[in-house]
A and B are shown apart, each in its own frame.
Chain A
Amino acid sequence: MAAPITPALLYLDNVTVSFDGFRALNALSLAIDHTEMRAIIGPNGAGKTTMMDVITGKTRPNEGTALFNGSHDLTYLDEAAIAELGIGRKFQTPTVFEMHSVEDNLLLALKQKRSPLATLLSRRTAQERERIDALLERVRLTHQRHRRAGELSHGQKQWLEIGMLLAQQPKLLLIDEPAAGMTDQETADTADLLRDIAKTQAVVVVEHDMTFVRDLGVKVTCLHEGSVLAEGSLDAVSANERVIEVYLGR
């Protein structure tokens, strides 16, 4: 494998995605450091989710490079390979395995061999059980562990999904609108949780809720029409004239 050409954990350069001529991403460039937390904001349709699609292998860019850990070109890998590399993703609308219990959701997400044969022969170890217990504790679902995930509230599902992300032990977490549909208290708790996670892992959070972004207190990137409009602290970005124009001018 080629030697790392960039020190960044995630490095997007000149990424362009077009759907029948419409450019959802337009020469987007972005770099995320190891253990950095980054908030991404931008109006609807700015291309935030599409960016995550590119990073996780769901959408192939028409142009540009996406390097992970300096050496892995994400544009050539499929979803499973990218997940194996250590990129976890939470969807905009929470998706958990509704028919499985909360516990099994976490079990499936635990970092383990993923091949059919391995799962067929695997047995639950005490170590796994401890990990699951710890995760349940962390996302506050200990008492729901035997319930079906489909029966959880919206907020609980969001947290379960974050729990599943943690279970994967990824190097990079992509989190799309975690605070959507949460109460203020839950939102604040989520911010705490994310800050906690960011101590050990890199996190990219997409969010529209500005209080939440302020709570996170991290570097902010504002996307607009598929490319970076402004980057910096939240205050700096929200003072940027073009950002104001994009948000209010519509």
Chain B
Amino acid sequence: MKTQTLLDRQSTVVLSLLTVAAIVVPAMNGLAAPGSALHLSDHLVPLLGKYVCFALLALSVDLIWGFCGILSLGHGAFFALGGYAMGMYLMRQIGPRGVYADPVLPDFMVFLNWKELPWFWHGFEWFPFAALMALIVPGALSFIFGWLAFRSRVTGVYLSIITQAMTFALMLAFFRNDMGFGGNNGLTDFKDILGFPLQSASTRIVLFVLSVVALACGYLLCRWVVNSKFGKVLVAVRDAESRTRFLGYRVEHYKLAVFTLSAMLAGIAGALYVPQVGIINPGEFAPANSIEVVIWVAVGGRGTLAGAILGALLVNAGKTWFTGVLPEFWLFALGGLFVFVTLFMPHGIFGAARDLGKQVSRRLASRRPPESLSQAAE
């Protein structure tokens, strides 16, 4: 059954496209001659990599919102925490190459006159540890938060609001210098990762490909989860929470499990994002960022997984284009998108395409003798 679901139509398409991206982007960047129409310039690779990380973040939001009805308006916090974990590793890698040339302390600590590394910075010089933390810290926070919230049955808009409060509180905390995460400026000026210089084209290509692989794995994981009986319970919770309870399911455990999983995915996305953009600062915790992620999912189509990926890529590409050409209009466009999608495309691009597909096949069916309709991937 597992292999069968992995090969459903949507998964095949998504995986093929991601594979193509993982091959074509490096090829266009490395093989095509600079100046030729096919050439992808060096600065575009991390930009695309950034989109891919956003797509993974959107996927994590879709998993809980689309399938379990939990609208988290604070997922940016988990993303940022993953990013900070990676940022701390990168910061430690700078070593004596910082402005103050302190072999251990990052520049901002020297600047603040700190004498030794705070305890929570220990271990981050070691990549596997940092990578683990990028998973564990968002996971632990989401677990504690979710345990508190779901146990006492905080649902709907109340839950959304307190997720906002959570990310807002974290933003304020990370803005403080004495938190030990670089305050306002965050972590930046990274030099290399595992010994490979971050500025070099080949490192960037590798990071891009890794992001695509992470996205593909994340997608497969989510697909496996939602296609399992566990996933069916999630949908049941989304549509009739108390009915699910009376059937004997502990709804809070399900919500907690999927919320934590989703936060960890977001953490991975953040960890991959930071080396590609070269900075992480408290702005990533801004409540507005988390809300924006939700619109990516809504644009693509919530509850479809592939839609979340599509939405994240489209909206972010649009943002890049707008801010280049008509910067003042980006907020109009984004705001309009929120309104338009919720009003006219409640199921997003994917839903619209599916409805269209159904209409077409219905037309065809009315002409031809009825045959079994292929089930749309759900």
Contacts and interface: CB of A to CB of B under 8 A. Distances in A.
A–B: direct contact at CB < 8 Å: yes
Interface of A: 56, 58, 78-80, 83-84, 88-89, 91, 95-100, 104, 107-109, 114-116, 119-124, 164, 168
Nearest to A84: B248
A120 B229 contact: yes
A97 B253 contact: no
Nearest to B243: A95
Interface stretch (B167-175, B178-186, B231-239): B231-239
Interface of B: 1, 225, 228-230, 232-233, 235-236, 238-240, 242-251, 253-254, 257
Contacts of B240: 95-98
Given A97-B235, A100-B235, A124-B1, A79 B245 contact: yes
Contacts of B247: 83, 108-109, 164, 168
B229 A122 contact: yes
Contacts of B230: 116, 119-120
24 contacts: A58-B242, A78-B245, A79-B245, A79-B246, A80-B248, A80-B249, A95-B243, A96-B243, A99-B239, A100-B232, A104-B232, A107-B229, A108-B232, A109-B247, A114-B248, A114-B249, A116-B230, A116-B254, A119-B228, A119-B229, A119-B230, A122-B228, A123-B1, A124-B1
A130 to B, nearest CB: 17
Contacts of B239: 97-100
A109 B249 CA distance: 10
Contact of A83 (B228, B233, B235, B245): B245
Nearest to A58: B242
A96 B240 CA distance: 8
Nearest to B237: A97
A116 B236 contact: no
Contact of B243 (A91, A104, A121, A122): A91
Nearest to A79: B245
Contacts of A124: 1
Tell me what chain B mostly uses at the interface: helix, strand, loop, or mixed: helix
B225 A120 contact: yes
Nearest to A87: B246
A79 B240 CA distance: 14
Contacts of B233: 108, 116, 119
A173 B249 CA distance: 17
A1 to B, nearest CB: 20
Contact of A80 (B228, B229, B232, B245): B245
A78 B152 CA distance: 12
Nearest to B257: A116
Central interface residue in B225, B229, B238, B244, by most chain A CB within 10 Å = B229
A107 B232 CA distance: 9
With a 10 A CB-CB cut-off, give which of A83, A97, A99, A109 has the most chain B CB atoms: A97
B202 to A, nearest CB: 39
B183 to A, nearest CB: 39
A168 B248 contact: yes
A124 B249 CA distance: 18
A125 to B, nearest CB: 11
A84 B253 CA distance: 15
A18 B176 CA distance: 50
A79 to B, nearest CB: 4
Question: What are the 7 closest A-B residue pairs judged by CB atoms, nearest first?
Answer: A83-B248, A120-B230, A79-B245, A119-B230, A119-B229, A116-B257, A95-B243
A80 B235 contact: no
Given A116-B230, A168-B247, 12 more contacts: A79-B242, A84-B248, A97-B240, A98-B240, A108-B232, A108-B233, A114-B250, A115-B250, A116-B257, A119-B229, A121-B228, A164-B247
Contacts of B242: 58, 79, 95
A89 to B, nearest CB: 5
B57 to A, nearest CB: 23
A115 B249 CA distance: 7
Contacts of B236: 97, 100, 108
Nearest to B249: A114
A187 B203 CA distance: 71
A108 B254 CA distance: 14
B251 to A, nearest CB: 8
Nearest to A105: B236
B228 A89 contact: no
A164 B247 CA distance: 9
A53 to B, nearest CB: 10
A84 B248 CA distance: 5
B235 A116 contact: no
Contacts of B228: 119-122
Most B-side CB within 10 Å, residue of A58, A107, A108? A108
* Centre residue among B248, B253, B254 by max chain A CB count within 10 A: B248
